[in-house]
Amino acid sequence: MSDRINERYIADFFGIEDNDEGAEELADIRSKLKKMVFKNNTDICVIDEDPDGMYFIESGAVVVLDRDEKQLNILHVGQYFGEYAVLSGEKRLSTVRSMGRTVVYKMESEDLLDFLNKHSDIYGEFMKRVYSQLSNKHSQILALSGMRRGVLTHPSNTRPMSHKQMFIQYGILSLVYIFAIISIPADSTAPVFLLPLIFMLIYVLVTKRTIESLVVSGILAAILVYRAGVFAGFADSLMNTMGQSDNVFTVLVMALMGGMVNLIVNSGGVTAFEKTSAKYSRSHRGIFLSSFVIMALTSIDDGLSMLTASYSSYNPAREKGLVREKLALFYSILPTVLSSFFPLSLWGIFVTGTLSATVKKDAVGLFIKSIPFNFFSLITFIAMILFSIGRLPKNSQIKEADKRFEETGSLWPKGSERYLSVHDTEVWGRKLNVILPILVLAVSSLAIRSLINKSFITDSAVGLLAALAFMFLLYCFRRIMTPEQFMEHLIDGIAESTLPIVLYILTINFASLLDSLGLHVYMAEMIDVFEGTAFLLPAVTFVLSMLLTIALGSSWAMYAIVFPIVLNLATHLGISPALMAGAIAGAGIAGEKNCAFTAEALNVGTAVGINPDAVKKIRISYSAIFTAIAAAGYLIAGIIAV
């Protein structure tokens, strides 16, 4: 028998008992398994064809493709495919193609169905296993597919414009460009930077297209700066932005972090803490506290943090009668908050990079100093601790959920059925495969550059490279993945970072163009205007930045717009940059948590098993209260600071 698809594997897979009857059943299956070898890039199953059997992967890997040749999944050693079409009698739903030399064991459709018909006791367990795997894959793919930072998930982006709408929208845009060229002289002393800034805000509010808004507004700013040489000037501006060392560093770190997170996910990271969590999840309080620890350990990325913790608590929450509304609140708010305390998280890296475009030096130091002034995150953190131990007052939605469970035993509200899944893990991740790379990242980021320069320096790029080298040794030499699979997952993760990287470059470039139009000079001249009411600046900045985030649907776009303006103004007014940076950072998180059309509700709803509309409702109901408290805190802080 083979190394991987051996008797133990077959017995576990089919649920065969260890007795004489089981030995006969096992022998029956072994006789029907046919070993097959496929060369690289060979179709094993083809979409729309009749099913001919199911396959177990002995070595190599396969990619699952849809009708448009788009990758849906990758399966590795010990996994299987083709079973759904055999059981349902329907045609193949996808194409499965070998990646390199791949060895599989095939069980013909007729043999599989005959075996299951003869052994009704095995049939039930087999069906449970198969449909559990399908449900889990669907759940995780949906959740992961929605995790795109800085890109607005809004209904307007799913409906293409008609030709009439295109002519109207871009006709108006052309008129704005012509107006700017004709009516605003090149030597104007007026605050002309306001035109592209206000235009960008109006454009994004009307179209709900964040990246497009930054592009067209950047072109408008370039027209005002470069006039006839707008395209050459805009290209030069982008190259200058991309060539600045701080921006190169941020882009590199974001790309490497995307690769690291994807490698952790594909190492089984999502399931790594499930067994440990089950040991401590003996009560509602235990479920929340164990989830809190898991999210803290995986806070390098809030999406990874949410998926890992929610997956680990899924079965214990069901067994202990924990209503889904409580899980939805916990997992929709806390992961981002925890990431906001960690400078080496993807969120922290983006914010630090955006800060560096304004403060020019020691952006990491400013980020760390701003954490105590991130009132929204601190308030939310404390509130969720109280919530986990049952000390936070319940709102009407939580009370109704508890009442529903007492009366009907239902853990979820109506409309949640399509988001439910049965978690029956087949491939267990290991905690050390998640914790050790993150630990290496943290230590290397703090130590390597400091030892070389003999002074304390934090360098997350060095830390990420060290962590990735360590992960290669850890994952490949322990046979978690092959070197080819490692590189594939690394590149896929870097590709997933493309959109936030594009957003970062566009926003930094836009801020640079505004600066070329005299933004910094105008801010210095406005000191006298704000001097008498400077104490209001922290609270006003927090509220307006939060509202801007809701309008943009993205905290990342807001940060790049607001940081340069407010921090320059605060410096001239003598207000602590750390206080203002904390207010802006907290406003971005508050805006996302109070926004009704981000992708987060679908991500959390899919992971937890609840209607996304219920996620939005409960998240916003609590976030609005935390936001009001934070705003009051900034008003008090402004009075004290000024």
pLDDT in tens, 344-370: 898 898 888 888 877 767 888 899 999
User: What pLDDT, in 10s, does the model give residues 193-237?
Assistant: 889 988 987 887 787 777 888 899 999 999 999 988 898 999 999
At residue 150, does pLDDT exceed 80?
no
pLDDT band at 329 (very low <50, low <70, confident <90, very high): very high
**Number of CB atoms found within 10 A of residue 303's CB:** 25
For 467-532, give the DSSP string: HHHHHHHHHHHTTSS-HHHHHHHHHHHHHHTHHHHHHHHHHHHHHHHHHHTTHHHHHHHTHHHHHT
User: What pLDDT, in 10s, does the model give residues 260-312?
Assistant: 988 988 887 767 787 778 788 889 999 999 999 999 999 988 888 888 888 88
Over range 366-385, report the average pLDDT.
96
Contact 376, 624 (CB under 8 A): no
At residue 159, does pLDDT exceed 60?
no
pLDDT band at 190 (very low <50, low <70, confident <90, very high): confident
pLDDT of residue 60: 84
Structural domains in the chain, sorted by start? 7-145 (2.60.120.10), 245-350+400-497 (no CATH)
Tokens of 512: 């640079």
pLDDT above 90 as % of the chain: 36
Higher pLDDT, 512 or 385: 385
Tokens of 176: 């704005």
At residue 121, does pLDDT exceed 80?
no
Tokens of 326: 């409580």
pLDDT band at 399 (very low <50, low <70, confident <90, very high): very high
pLDDT of residue 128: 53
Contact 92, 85 (CB under 8 A): yes
Contact 472, 122 (CB under 8 A): no
For 60-87, give the DSSP string: EEEEEE-TTS-EEEEE-TT-EESHHHHH
User: What pLDDT, in 10s, does the model give residues 66-99?
Assistant: 777 776 777 888 888 888 788 777 788 889 998 8
* 472 Cβ contact list (under 8 Å, min separation 6): 483, 486
Over range 116-128, report the average pLDDT.
64
pLDDT of residue 598: 66
Least confident of 437-446, 502-511, 534-543, 619-628: 502-511
Residue with tokens 């950072």: 585
Q: Provide φ and ψ at 236, rounded to 5°.
A: -65, -40
* 545 Cβ contact list (under 8 Å, min separation 6): 558, 562, 566, 583, 584, 587, 588, 591
- Coil, strand or helix: which one is 59? strand
pLDDT of residue 156: 42
**Pairing assessment for the beta strands 53-65 and 80-81 based on DSSP bridges:** antiparallel
How far is the C-alpha of 223 from the C-alpha of 177, rounded, in Å?
8
At residue 144, does pLDDT exceed 50?
no
pTM of the model: 0.70
pLDDT of residue 596: 77
Specify burial of residue 411 (Cβ count, 10 A radius: 0-12, 13-18, 19+): buried
At residue 244, does pLDDT exceed 70?
yes
